Structure 1
């Protein structure tokens, strides 16, 4: 039987002493047991922005067994040249026998009331099951994180009723036509640029980050230190950076990529504001390299300025599905943040 509301208590966790309890709650609620210890070491113990906060729900009351968990990572951001510190909702779950609205709401409410006054902004990427909970707490939708896809190999997507040989021939003809058109369109613009794959970001990434100057953009820090940590290789993930450089300005664009099966996923993107063609050129190179590597498509989740979205669409990236980025802010932050453009990719998440 689920405990009565009055018998629940939410208390801060100790990241060292409560490690096994937290990881156990993750495994029972969030799955992927083989990854949870590594996630704890990476996100909770090596986070360059500082140690995340973790709250545990207990039942009955303070002396009871932990039955729920929620985390809040720190995300350093910037708006109009000024630092903005935000909290990132993460790793939220309640054990099955207590999975009613009250324990979930109590965890979320306690976290919001405890940390929003000092941070001023809390944001998250809730799954469909969690979204009703955060909406009830006053979280608003910052925008839609849209997944854009560019098909590289046509034949797997043609109707299965078409014979395999014909489907393959038609697909190859369509692929050749599209890629030839793309190369003819971008070849003259690519002169003076060098594309290169890297396993780790180098010092040039700091210069590209420092060149960002849009005063309306709310964007998470993307300097070398953050990217090296965020895209640190894990036992189940491997990332690489495709970079685009010019002779005059050094690094002008990068995409952080992860190959999963036949799909090349773009996990992050940043372009130099003085090189408006850099997005087209770096993606054109990515399409070519991914195709040569046997990938069937390129996928990219993004919430950002309209101009960048239109550029992605011109490149043949088609919107497939979307999820909400949710946020709540303090009154002190409202005037500063209410008119901001949001810039989010998978690099702003916790996985």
Structure 2
């Protein structure tokens, strides 16, 4: 039987002594048991921005078993040249027998009230089932994380009822019109540019990050240290960096990529503001290399400035679906943050 609401309590966890409890709750509620120990070591103990905060929901009160968990990771961001230590909601779950509204609300309310004054901004990517909870707590939609897709092999997406040989011929014709002919019409100038694939970021990434000076942009830190940590290789995940360099200006853009099945996913992307053609050159290279490697499409999730969205459309990337990004902020930060233009990719999430 579910405990009465008054018997629940949300209490801070100790990352050392409560490790097994936290991991067990993750396994029960979030799945992928083979990855949870690694997630704990990587995301909770080695975060370069500092140790995350974790709350556990207990029932009844302090002497009861932990039945829910929520994390808040520090995400260093920048706006108008000032550093902001934002909080990223992570790893939220309540065991099935306690999955009423009250324990979930208690965890979210306690986390917001305890830590929002310290960081000024909390944001997250709740699943549709969790959205009602965060809305009731006053979280607002910061924007829509849009998934853009460029199909590389049209035959794979034609109706299965079409005979294979016909589907293949039609697909090849469509691909020629969409890719080869388009590259002829909209050829970009690669002179003086060098594209290279890398397994890890190097010192040039710090200079590219330092060049990001748009005062209206709210953007998470993307220096070498953060990227090396965030895209650390895992047994079940492998990332590669496509870099674009100019002879006189060093690194002018990168894309962090992960292949899942037949799809090449762009997990993060950053371009030099002084080289407006760098985004086009990066994606042209991605399309070419992904096609040669046998990929069926290129995908990129992004919330950001309208000019970048427009360039993605011009590159033939179509918006397929979107999900909400929610945030809450202190009154002191509200004016600046509400006027800011967010820049978010998968690099700003917790997985």
What range is the shorter-chain TM-score in? over 0.9
- With over 3 angstroms needed to count, the CA separation of the structure-2 counterparts of 1:235 and 1:195, relative to structure 1, is same
Bigger Cα displacement from structure 2, 81-90 vs 172-181: 172-181
How far off its partner does 1:182 sit? Answer: 3.6
1:4 maps to 4
2:333 maps to 333
2:96 maps to 96
- With over 3 angstroms needed to count, the CA separation of the structure-2 counterparts of 1:191 and 1:182, relative to structure 1, is farther
2:132 maps to 132
1-side partners of 2:112 and 2:210: how far apart?
32
2-side partners of 1:188 and 1:335: how far apart?
40
Question: What SS class does the counterpart of residue 54 from structure 1 fall into?
Answer: strand
Bigger Cα displacement from structure 2, 169-178 vs 258-267: 169-178
Runs of 4+ in 1 over 2 A off after TM superposition: 176-179, 181-188
2:153 maps to 153
**After superposition, where does 1:109-128 map in structure 2 within 5 Å?**
109-128=109-128
1:71 maps to 71
- With over 3 angstroms needed to count, the CA separation of the structure-2 counterparts of 1:188 and 1:280, relative to structure 1, is closer
- With over 3 angstroms needed to count, the CA separation of the structure-2 counterparts of 1:188 and 1:54, relative to structure 1, is closer
1:162 aligns with 2:162: yes
1:51 maps to 51
2:206 maps to 206
**After superposition, where does 1:253-332 map in structure 2 within 5 Å?**
253-332=253-332
Question: What SS class does the counterpart of residue 3 from structure 2 fall into?
Answer: coil
How far off its partner does 1:343 sit? Answer: 0.4
1-side partners of 2:20 and 2:8: how far apart?
21
**Structure 2: runs of 5 or more not aligned:** none
TM-score by length of 2: 0.99
2-side partners of 1:169 and 1:244: how far apart?
35
Question: What SS class does the counterpart of residue 38 from structure 1 fall into?
Answer: helix
1-side partners of 2:35 and 2:269: how far apart?
26
Per-residue CA shift, 1:203-226, capped at 9, x if unaligned? Answer: 111111000111100000000000
Do 1:11 and 1:55's aligned partners in 2 also have CA atoms closer than 8 Å?
yes
2:143 maps to 143
TM-score by length of 1: 0.99
How far off its partner does 1:236 sit? Answer: 1.1
Do 2:188 and 2:281's aligned partners in 1 also have CA atoms closer than 8 Å?
no
Per-residue CA shift, 1:69-119, capped at 9, x if unaligned? Answer: 000000000001110110000000000010000000000000000000111
1:16 maps to 16
Measured on the aligned residues, the alpha-carbon RMSD in Å equals 0.9
Do 1:182 and 1:284's aligned partners in 2 also have CA atoms closer than 8 Å?
no
1-side partners of 2:107 and 2:83: how far apart?
28
2:216 maps to 216
**Structure 1: runs of 5 or more not aligned:** none
How far off its partner does 1:188 sit? Answer: 4.9
Do 1:186 and 1:281's aligned partners in 2 also have CA atoms closer than 8 Å?
no
How far off its partner does 1:185 sit? Answer: 4.1
1:348 maps to 348
Question: What SS class does the counterpart of residue 47 from structure 2 fall into?
Answer: coil
How far off its partner does 1:186 sit? Answer: 5.1
How far off its partner does 1:187 sit? Answer: 4.2
Per-residue CA shift, 1:160-179, capped at 9, x if unaligned? Answer: 22210111112112223322
Per-residue CA shift, 1:235-267, capped at 9, x if unaligned? Answer: 111000001111121111110000000000000
1-side partners of 2:164 and 2:185: how far apart?
31
Do 2:154 and 2:172's aligned partners in 1 also have CA atoms closer than 8 Å?
yes
